[in-house]
Amino acid sequence: MKIAILSQSSKLYSTSRLKEAAENRGHEARVINFLRCYMNITSHQPFIIYQGERLENFDAIIPRIGASATFYGNAVVRQFEVMGVFTPNPSQAISRSRDKLRSLQILAQKGIGLPVTGFAHATEDIDGLLETVGGAPVVIKLLEGTQGIGVVLAETHQAAKSVIEAFRGLDANILVQEFIKEANGMDIRCFVIGDKVVASMKRQGAEGDFRSNLHRGGNAAKIKLTPEERSTAVRAAKAMGLKVAGVDLLRSNHGPVVMEINSSPGLEGIEKTSGIDVAGKIIEYLEKNAAPSKNGTY
């Protein structure tokens, strides 16, 4: 197969591992900086130009689209879709997962476990907003935040009001969620490929930090998932339309709840912690499914 890995840098761990895994399995893999592509959207003959070359005859792409480049990256993915190239994560699915509010609404519609969540922009009824999620302590998030940035734990009602008032001053959209205290600063990353969880790890936040992001000082370890956790992760990825996804769960008193779904999950932490060749499993999925007739919607 001829595979294009859409990534801004070939030096990133995930990108280099995918290229290595593809080549180890006898495929031709090329890293393409999607931001440096341009497109011809002519009827009947759409194409993409990269470094002066027309990109043709690819069997599949693997989108590695960073959050800050979602709009243009998705445009490139969509152009490949129009050209009949297979992608495990269609552009529409990437858009859904990047919109925190939309993804929560979709998951809620499918009956998948979530933290109790409120959403607001410029409401003056802050007391009412906090009441909808059961009151303090609460986690307050900027809708556009990523990787733990713009996420605040407010332990008292007054602290929550102060944070929401400050965020309102930024003219921002705000998510307010119940704080799952029993999780003890630990979440679970489930790596879903196709219709199964192929690897998982638990991430524990640094001392004094309720956020478990590894790049913020958290640490990772192996974990055994329950059947309900596996099912929740697979259902969440399916609801988004993603065939390769990182699904983040918390263990709550009322079962697993989904915190976030990542359409370009990193491979370094999950591979080193689990010892599983996740990159190889992604390539294996492409081998079984890459065909123009199996492409997603766009």
In contact, 262 and 270? CB cutoff 8 Å: no
Query: Is the domain of 277 the same as that of 159?
Result: no
| Per-residue pLDDT in tens (0 to 9) along the chain, 298 residues | 999 999 999 999 999 999 999 999 999 999 999 999 999 988 778 899 999 999 999 999 999 999 889 999 999 999 999 999 999 999 999 999 999 889 999 999 999 999 999 998 877 889 999 999 999 999 998 876 555 567 899 999 999 999 988 888 888 888 999 999 888 889 999 999 999 999 999 998 766 555 555 555 578 899 999 999 999 999 999 999 999 999 999 999 989 999 999 999 999 999 999 999 999 999 999 999 986 544 444 3
Residue 289 in any domain: the answer is no
164 & 236 share domain: no
The answer to whether residues 260 and 192 belong to one domain is yes
C-alpha span between 266 and 32 (Å, rounded)? 18
pTM to 2 decimals?
0.87
- The CATH number covering residue 121 comes to 3.30.1490.20
Amino acid at 172: A
β-strands 151-154, 196-204 pairing: unpaired
Supply φ then ψ for residue 246, to 5 degrees: -105, 115
On whether residue 192 sits in a domain, the answer given is yes
Looking at the structure, tell me whether residues 195 and 227 fall in a common domain. Answer: yes
Task: Tell me: do 100 and 207 sit in the same domain.
Answer: yes
For residue 244, give its domain range: 96-112+182-284
Helices (H), 185-276: 227-240, 268-274
